[in-house]
Amino acid sequence: MNILVTRPERDALQTAARLAELGHKAVIAPVTEIVVTGAKIPIASYSAVLVTSANALRALPRRDIEQLQNVALHCVGQKTADVARSLGFSRVHVSSGSGHFLVEDIIGAYSAGAALLYLTGTPRKPMVEQGLRASGFAVTSYELYRAQTVSDWPGRARAMIPQIDVALHYSRASVEALLDLSEKAGMLADLHPMRHICLSPDVAAPLLIGPVKHIAIAVRPSEASMLDLL
């Protein structure tokens, strides 16, 4: 099958490799690109570092990695954990699913009042910060990257879009960007016959209110669960 992958290019290439192993062809047409903000972390003492996206870790300057790599790092998903370990973080803890599970794990592991450093980007949902602050934690957030909508979509993949069988969706923001870009490119109708596989109900929400009919939601919020639906 031809599978549309709209993730930022670096992540899309990794997904494409997994799809190739399953006998499918990935059509890479990112709807967003990752831009590093250049923010630097001031030297301070933290009980733990929190990460919900590998993009935040990739945006960390070497100086900040060296400062933080011996602090306990809590992240969402095995892929993010693998990136953390490759950068030298020695105390990596993995929460499955989403930021909701990360919040639960932190509440169970630390006492209220603990100083937490959240390495993040924009756009993002306020779930992690709000959930932990409501439980009495001191959360310092640093935006290390931003995911911005591309100006030219679908770029070189334009001719392939009508031949797509399935589209994979990893975030609500990327779905919203896809719908907007497709409309501007006059290609919204090309999305209708595709089967759309979404990471979670929240990711699927913008599709559910539109004309797209063939939508599937992963049993668990992981790429492996999404690929199982193929």
Question: What is the per-residue pLDDT for 40?
Answer: 86
Verify that 143 and 45 share a domain, yes or no: yes
Of 86, 116, 147, which marks where a domain is finished?
Answer: 147
Whether residue 27 has pLDDT greater than 90: yes
Cis, peptide link before residue 123, omega less than 30° from 0? yes
Query: From residue 206, how far is each of 167, 168, 201 by CA, in Å?
Result: 14, 14, 10
Verify that 139 and 184 share a domain, yes or no: no
| Average confidence (pLDDT) over 28-44 | 93
Of 147, 166, 183, which marks where a domain is finished?
Answer: 147
Verify that 87 and 183 share a domain, yes or no: no
Verify that 79 and 117 share a domain, yes or no: yes
Instruction: Find the CATH number of the domain harbouring 172.
Output: 3.40.50.10090
pTM of the model: 0.88
Question: What is the per-residue pLDDT for 186?
Answer: 95
Whether residue 97 has pLDDT greater than 80: no
Question: What is the per-residue pLDDT for 213?
Answer: 86
Task: Specify the range with the lowest mean pLDDT, choosing from 8-17, 189-198, 202-211.
Answer: 202-211
Verify that 62 and 94 share a domain, yes or no: yes
Of 119, 147, 175, which marks where a domain is finished?
Answer: 147
Verify that 16 and 58 share a domain, yes or no: no
| Average confidence (pLDDT) over 28-45 | 93
The 10s digit of each residue's pLDDT in 118-129 is 999 999 989 999
Contacting residues for 224 by C-beta, under 8 A, at least 6 apart: none
pLDDT band at 1 (very low <50, low <70, confident <90, very high): very high
Verify that 41 and 125 share a domain, yes or no: yes
pLDDT band at 43 (very low <50, low <70, confident <90, very high): confident
Verify that 115 and 180 share a domain, yes or no: no
Question: What is the per-residue pLDDT for 51?
Answer: 97
Whether residue 71 has pLDDT greater than 90: yes
Whether residue 160 has pLDDT greater than 90: yes
Verify that 42 and 136 share a domain, yes or no: yes
Average pLDDT along the chain: 94
| Average confidence (pLDDT) over 53-76 | 95
The 10s digit of each residue's pLDDT in 180-199 is 999 999 999 999 999 999 99
Verify that 75 and 140 share a domain, yes or no: yes
The 10s digit of each residue's pLDDT in 103-114 is 999 999 999 999
Question: What is the per-residue pLDDT for 82?
Answer: 94
- Are 37 and 145 in contact, with CB atoms under 8 Å apart? yes
Domain count, the chain: 2
Give the DSSP letter string of the chain: -EEEE-S-HHHHHHHHHHHHHTT-EEEE--SEEEEE----PPP---SEEEES-HHHHHT--HHHHHHHTTS-EEEESHHHHHHHHHTT-SSEEEE-SSHHHHHHHHHHHS-TT-EEEEEEEES--SHHHHHHHHTT-EEEEEEEEEEEE-SSSSGGGGGGGGG-SEEEE--HHHHHHHHHHHHHTT-GGGGTTSEEEESSHHHHHHHHTSS---EEE-SSSSHHHHHHT-
Domain of 86, in residue numbers: 35-147
Verify that 94 and 19 share a domain, yes or no: no
Verify that 115 and 70 share a domain, yes or no: yes
